[in-house]
Amino acid sequence: MNDSLTHMKTIRDMMRRAAAPDADIYRDLLACFNGTPYVWGGSSPSGCDCSGSVCTALNILYGTDKDETADTLHKLYFTEMKDNDDALCAVFFLNRAGRAVHVSGRTGDDFYMNVSSAEPGQKGTIRSYEELRTMYPSFRMVQQSLRTGAWR
């Protein structure tokens, strides 16, 4: 296992010992992707793509091993946005056909981890919702929450 994933598991374990809610752990795990090089199909802080950051954060949180596309996350795992602090959230970018072609996991309040080739230097960057809207004007943005029990 690479060091960055071991580091993420340490964060998870420390936060669980402190009785942190899953949503706080998820947000801190997503933050580990800040500065991560964009790598199509990647799924670790040493290199990943948009869905890889969300899937890896959820995998570390729940001890699973799933690898899904943005569209599959949108259709099978996430549902309407729950506007509360306990929700594990993401924003999906839908094309005209309604297919999710990009995803950014919510790191807190109005901020999202955006791992994308569109970022300067092609590195993961924390962006506000408005910044994302400006970066991706041709897509419909849909905020959603993880379905209860969906990732386990």
The whole-number pLDDT of residue 85 equals: 67
Token couple for 49: 């793509």
Predicted confidence (pLDDT) per residue in 24-82, tens digit: 999 999 999 999 999 999 999 999 999 999 999 999 999 999 999 999 999 999 998 77
Q: What pLDDT band is residue 133 in, cutting at 50, 70 and 90?
A: very high
**pTM for the full predicted model:** 0.94
Burial of 66 (0-12, 13-18, 19+ CB in 10 A): middle
> Stretch 110-137: mean pLDDT, rounded?
96
Q: How far is CA 13 from CA 1, 22, 34, 57, 100, in A?
A: 16, 11, 20, 13, 32
The backbone torsions φ and ψ at residue 60, rounded to the nearest 5 degrees and listed phi first, read -65, -45
CA distance 74 to 106: 14
Percent over 70 (pLDDT), the chain: 97
